[in-house]
């Protein structure tokens, strides 16, 4: 049987700082930002609620225009993969760090917590996935229930 592996990360959290875009010597945009995710639980011994926040460093390649929308406090959806890199610090010690290399970033809300479609100052950077809901026809365009048999003219396609 063939060996398989999965390296997939999905985060929904709040931006800890404004995104920053820099360019490589080859001109490729590299946008970096941090996302905070939190979890709450009730301590079994004391009965009190506790909260823990994790910080995730995110790297997004080739999306220089997105940094203008990714500002501190906004809620985002990030989908990507984990990548661990290393470097030597000034003392010669090898330092490892793990970051999320984003493949998809969606702006979910503005700083005030309202949805991107409900008065947010920034449009969604990418189209949502999945089926799109088609609005129903206005009541005046629909026949009244029981007003007669349905004909081919009543079918909307």
Q: Which residues pair with 13 in a beta bridge?
A: 76
Q: 40 vs 127, which has greater pLDDT?
A: 40
- Confidence (pLDDT) at 155: 52
Distance CA 115, CA 42 (A): 29
- Longest pairwise C-alpha distance within the chain: 86
Residue 93 clears pLDDT 90, i.e. is over it: yes
**Which of 66-70, 99-103, 121-125 is the most confident on average?**
99-103
Query: What are the structural domains of the chain?
Result: 9-119 (2.40.50.140)
- Confidence (pLDDT) at 152: 58
- Confidence (pLDDT) at 139: 43
């Amino acid at each position: 049987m063939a060996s398989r592996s999965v390296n997939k990360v999905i985060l929904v959290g709040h931006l800890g700082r404004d995104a920053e875009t820099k360019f490589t010597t080859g001109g490729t945009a590299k946008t970096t930002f941090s996302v905070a995710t939190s979890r709450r639980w009730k301590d079994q011994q004391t009965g009190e609620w506790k909260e823990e926040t994790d910080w995730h460093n995110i790297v997004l390649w080739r999306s220089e225009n997105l940094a203008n929308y990714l500002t501190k406090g906004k809620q985002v959806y990030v989908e990507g993969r984990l990548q661990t890199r290393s470097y030597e610090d000034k003392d010669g010690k090898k330092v490892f760090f793990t970051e999320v290399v984003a493949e998809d970033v969606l702006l979910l809300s503005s700083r005030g917590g309202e949805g991107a479609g409900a008065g947010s100052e920034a449009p969604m950077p990418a189209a949502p996935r999945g089926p799109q809901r088609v609005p129903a026809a206005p009541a005046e365009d629909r026949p009244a229930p029981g007003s007669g048999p349905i004909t081919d003219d009543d079918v909307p396609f």
